[in-house]
């Protein structure tokens, strides 16, 4: 599966690697890991993202810089690889650029229902993370090329996409890869975990405190929700990035099947949906124009907050009926 793309990529002088908008640990880890692989194999790489890398992940870009795309850098690229998303619209300005400048484009991802527009797709829904897939580029070619930067980048994506190796997407294979990365990168799990999860600012905890008070249960205690209002963000001087990980709190309520975090970000309501049952939140999110995985998905609602909650709970309730019948 990886050979075809590996051979193709080696034919180019310069390849642009995009991570998805509003980047997370998996897309940044996979992007930096893949750029390092390209450069170690004779291909010049550029790493692009329209948005800024979150503060807790910025250290990864010391191993390979991630830039906002400029026309010059984009024109330098002979081809593109998109990581951790499976449709051009997840990659912001890439979608417009490629329409005007058709160039070979490849995709490496683990989300369901991939767009068929790519020249080669590595699309493995069962993979815990895109970083797990990028590991195979090294495994296939030269595992000795995994140095500290590669190992820490890929390890970051694995732990951020699996709730620190807790989700049901984790397989023995995931653990073997994580262990191999620790060995080859010569680091201990806490070194990365502390950087990624253990450097919160006081305002994040103050925002969490306010948000926790909004946790409510719906549909006979099957759905838990939590809200972050624009007022809370203003009062604590926090932003969307400061809500990272919040959805784990409503999801941790005993006995519920799914949780939704609603964030009123001014321009609309961003929702994070999570499931710990057979309820498929990818299907749920798709009904409101979003998407994701069965157990973790996201979407936007134009608002206001109350309407978003009502609309989204109504859809969830209908899907719960189907799940409970089956
Ligand atoms: P999060 O809730 O952490 O923002 O996102 C969870 C998952 O849902 C991610 O893996 C991401 O790929 C997907 N996701 C989040 N927001 C959106 C969105 O607006 N559209 C789509 N299609 N997927 C999203
Ligand atoms: Mn991912």
d(CA 51, CA 266): 18
Residues 226 and 186 occupy one common structural domain: no
Q: How many CB atoms lie within 10 A of CB 216?
A: 12
Quote the crossing angle between the two packed helices 130-141 and 172-185, to the nearest 10°: 60
- The answer to whether residues 176 and 251 belong to one domain is no
pLDDT score recorded for residue 202:
96
Q: What is the pLDDT of residue 219?
A: 97
The answer for 220, left when phi > 0, alpha when psi is -120 to 50, beta otherwise, is: left
**Angle of CA points 292, 298, 300, to nearest 5°:** 135
In a shared domain, residues 185 and 43: yes
In this prediction, residue 326 carries a pLDDT of 82
Which strand (E) or helix (H) includes residue 64? none
Residue 280: which of 40, 137, 112 has the closest Cα? 112
Instruction: Report CA(294)–ligand 1 centroid distance (Å).
Output: 11
Tell which of 140, 166, 197 closes a domain: 197
Mutate to test the pocket of ligand 1, among 292, 299, 312 (most ligand atoms within 8 A of CB): 292
Distance of CA 231 from the midpoint of ligand 2 (Å): 30
Choose among 260, 229, 264, 266: nearest CA to 246.
Answer: 260
- Containing structural domain, residue 283: 202-325
Q: Are residues 82 and 156 in the same domain?
A: yes
Tell whether 293 and 229 lie within a shared domain: yes
Closest atom, ligand 1, to C-alpha of 244: 3
Q: How many domains does the chain have?
A: 2
Residue nearest (by alpha carbon) to ligand 1 atom 22:
291
Q: In this structure, are 216 and 178 located in the same domain? A: no
Q: Which atom of ligand 1 is nearest to the CA of 300?
A: 19
Number of the ligand 1 atom closest to the C-alpha atom of 299: 19
Q: 162, 197, 232: which is the final residue of a domain?
A: 197
pLDDT tens, residue by residue, 70-118: 999 999 999 999 999 999 999 999 999 999 999 999 999 999 999 999 9
Nearest ligand, CA 130 = 2
Task: Indicate which atom in ligand 1 lies nearest the CA of residue 271.
Answer: 2
Alpha helices in the chain (DSSP H): 2-9, 25-40, 71-76, 93-100, 130-141, 148-161, 172-185, 189-197, 202-212, 230-236, 248-251, 281-286, 305-325
Which residues is 225 bridged to in the sheet?
Answer: 216, 260
Q: Is 20 helix (H, G, I), strand (E, B) or coil?
A: coil
**For a substitution probing ligand 1, which of 239, 291, 301, 312 has the most ligand atoms within 8 Å of its CB?**
291
Q: What is the model's pLDDT at position 12?
A: 98
- Same domain? For 92 and 207 the reply is no
Alpha-carbon span 93 to 124, nearest angstrom: 25
Residue 192 and residue 212 share a domain: no
Residue that finishes a domain, picked among 166, 197, 228: 197
Q: Are residues 261 and 187 in the same domain?
A: no
Asked whether residue 188 falls in the same domain as residue 219, the answer is no
Ligand 1, atom 7, lies closest to the CA of 297
Residues with CB under 6 A from ligand 1: 111, 272, 290-293, 296-300
Residue 294: Cβ within 10 Å count: 17
Three-class DSSP category at 47: strand
Cβ neighbours around 177 below 10 Å, total: 23
Ranges of residues in the chain whose predicted pLDDT is under 70 = none
């Amino acid at each position: 599966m990886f050979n075809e793309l590996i051979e193709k990529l080696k034919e180019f002088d310069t390849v642009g690697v995009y991570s998805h908008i509003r980047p997370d640990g998996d897309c940044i880890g996979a992007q930096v890991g893949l750029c390092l692989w390209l450069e170690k194999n004779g291909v010049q790489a550029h790493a692009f993202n329209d948005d800024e890398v979150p503060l807790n992940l910025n250290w990864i870009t010391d191993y390979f810089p991630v830039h906002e795309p400029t026309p010059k850098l984009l024109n330098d690229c002979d081809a593109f690889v998109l990581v951790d998303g499976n449709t051009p619209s997840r990659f912001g300005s890439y979608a417009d650029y490629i329409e005007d400048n058709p160039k070979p484009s490849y995709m490496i991802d683990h989300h369901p229902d991939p767009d068929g527009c790519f020249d080669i797709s590595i699309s493995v829904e069962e993979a815990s993370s895109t970083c797990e897939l990028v590991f195979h580029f090294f495994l296939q070619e030269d595992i000795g090329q995994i140095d500290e930067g590669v190992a820490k980048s890929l390890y970051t994506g694995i732990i951020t996409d699996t709730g620190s190796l807790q989700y049901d997407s984790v397989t023995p294979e995931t653990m073997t890869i994580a262990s191999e990365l620790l060995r080859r990168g010569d680091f201990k799990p806490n070194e990365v975990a502390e950087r990624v999860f253990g450097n919160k600012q006081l305002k994040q905890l103050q925002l969490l405190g306010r948000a926790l008070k909004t946790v409510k249960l719906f549909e006979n205690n099957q759905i838990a929700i939590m809200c972050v209002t624009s007022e809370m963000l203003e009062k604590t001087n926090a932003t969307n990035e400061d809500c990272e990980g919040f959805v784990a709190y409503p999801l941790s309520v005993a006995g519920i099947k799914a949780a939704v975090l609603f964030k009123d970000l001014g321009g609309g309501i961003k929702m994070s949906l999570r499931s710990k049952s057979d309820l498929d939140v990818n299907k749920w999110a798709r009904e409101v124009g979003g998407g994701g995985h069965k157990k973790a998905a996201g979407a936007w609602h134009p608002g206001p907050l109350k309407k978003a909650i009502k609309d989204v709970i109504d859809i969830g309730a209908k899907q719960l009926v189907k799940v409970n019948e089956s």
